[in-house]
Structure 1
Amino acid sequence: MNYIDLHIHSNYSDDGEFEPKEIIEFCLEKGIRYFAIADHNSVKSIAETKKYCENKNINVISAVELDCNFNGVNLHVLGYGVDYNNPIFNEIEENIIFQEQEASSELPHPKEGGASWEVSNVRYIYQALWLVPNLIYV
């Protein structure tokens, strides 16, 4: 039987612990044959992961988990089969870093008359994920 895990975070995510190589070894030990490392706002692990999967009985699906805010609601949008070489993902990551830095600054909250630090990433997500060619069937 083949097992699949479509939501793993590597140490490229702020909530991930293991390097991609370690994740692959864990997956192989547990019989997982299809998996996706869907790091928050980053596709940096995908090339490394694909390279390490070569000549092993395991398949990686390129993925990303994009954090965004829409109408005041925090969302996590998962994208699978993404073109991780598309430069839009670097722009998304830089935008998220900027927002985090701006949000942690000493500026008062926008509702208190400060500068607005809430920026929607919907445009970035649309540009990044509309390129997904189709669903992946296993």
Structure 2
Amino acid sequence: MSVRADLHIHTTASDGTWTPAELIAEAQKQQLGLIAVTDHDSVANVAEAMTLAAAAGITLLPAAEICSTKEDLSFHILGYGIDIHNKQLLELMQHNEALLEQKDVDSIHLLARDGWPVDEAEFARYTYDRHRGGWRALAYLIDKGLCTGVSDFFQRIFTPEHDLGFPEFPAISEVITAIHAAGGAALCAHAASGFHGPGLEHVLDILRTEKFDGFECYHSNHSEEGTQRLLQHCKKHGLLISGGSDCHGTFVPGRRLGQPLVTADMLRLDGLLPQDVK
């Protein structure tokens, strides 16, 4: 059987609950032979994870999941095979991290304006254990008893009703350029999931002029129909194919490491993997 793969995993460097050591231990339990740490706008845990993965006999592809915006929609772009020290890419990710940190502050401000029992000065002092997963505003609202978890946050709080939404991230073309400058390949993440809103065909139409190297065809939130449509699109246009769980450790219910089942022979990652990974 071909090597089992999971090329979409988050750690404590963004909103996951696992450290690199915990991730590698879980990857061994699931008998994964090919993985990627794809934290949101961060490569902080990649070097440590690569060292631990090599010692465990696991191939780890250096990567990140980078936020972008087009037509008021947020898109996540997976950069695979990147130089994690590339200045241009690091500056872009630092810019995005700053936007997300400010969004936390703005979210609490807007909720306070609307009469929620939150305190901006208290939030300014607030810290949380990154092993919980998620982000600072979410942890604060949970600790205040105002939110039950990530699903509740997006369904009831992070909504247009409260003037809340994602920041205006850099354009897709800018993110792709930065990934290419770092020697990587840029693939659109979870295009067939509900994350984008308008549906896969609309998403593909929106993205038709963008110079993606490929798409994440296999994902925990993709239907079989969506997966097959993306595979068809990639094969027709000669694009790269990736896949992964989008596991955040224990943070996002229902996402399990190594699910859906993906093997290296199901992927197309030309030039990104060692010759012996099959």
TM-score of Structure 1 vs Structure 2, range by shorter chain: 0.7 to 0.9
In 2: Cα distance, 1:126 partner to 1:101 partner: 23
- Residue in structure 1 matched with residue 35 of structure 2 by the alignment: 35
TM-score w.r.t. length of structure 2: 0.42
- Residue in structure 2 matched with residue 128 of structure 1 by the alignment: 178
Matched to 2:59, the amino acid is: N
Matched to 1:27, the amino acid is: A
CA apart distance, 1:21: 0.9
Pair 75,89 (structure 1): closer, same or farther in 2 beyond 3 Å: same
Instruction: Give the strand-richer structure, 1 or 2.
Output: 1
In 2: Cα distance, 1:118 partner to 1:57 partner: 40
Instruction: Give the helix-richer structure, 1 or 2.
Output: 2
| SS in structure 2 at match of 1:13 | coil
In 2: Cα distance, 1:84 partner to 1:13 partner: 15
| SS in structure 1 at match of 2:27 | helix
Q: How does 1:1-138 map to 2 (within 5 A)?
A: 1=1, 2-14=3-15, 16-103=16-103, 104-105=105-106, 118-122=168-172, 124-130=174-180, 131-132=183-184, 135=270, 136-137=272-273, 138=278
Matched to 1:54, the amino acid is: A
Matched to 2:70, the amino acid is: F
Alpha-carbon contact 2:54-2:60 (below 8 Å) kept: no
CA apart distance, 1:83: 1.1
Cα RMSD for the two superposed structures: 2.3
Identity %, equivalent residues: 26
Matched to 1:7, the amino acid is: H
Alpha-carbon contact 1:40-1:66 (below 8 Å) kept: yes
Please list the CA deviations of residues 40-72 of structure 1 after superposition, one character each: whole Å capped at 9, or x if unmatched: 111111111111123322110111111111121
Please list the CA deviations of residues 99-125 of structure 1 after superposition, one character each: whole Å capped at 9, or x if unmatched: 234444359xxxxxxxxx634243541
Matched to 2:91, the amino acid is: E
Structure 1, unmatched stretches of 5+, are: 108-116
Judge which range, 95-104 or 41-50, deviates more: 95-104
TM-score w.r.t. length of structure 1: 0.79
Pair 120,60 (structure 1): closer, same or farther in 2 beyond 3 Å: same
| SS in structure 2 at match of 1:10 | coil
In 2: Cα distance, 1:122 partner to 1:7 partner: 19
CA apart distance, 1:97: 2.7
Larger Rg belongs to: 2
Alpha-carbon contact 2:89-2:179 (below 8 Å) kept: no
Alpha-carbon contact 1:66-1:78 (below 8 Å) kept: yes
Matched to 1:92, the amino acid is: L
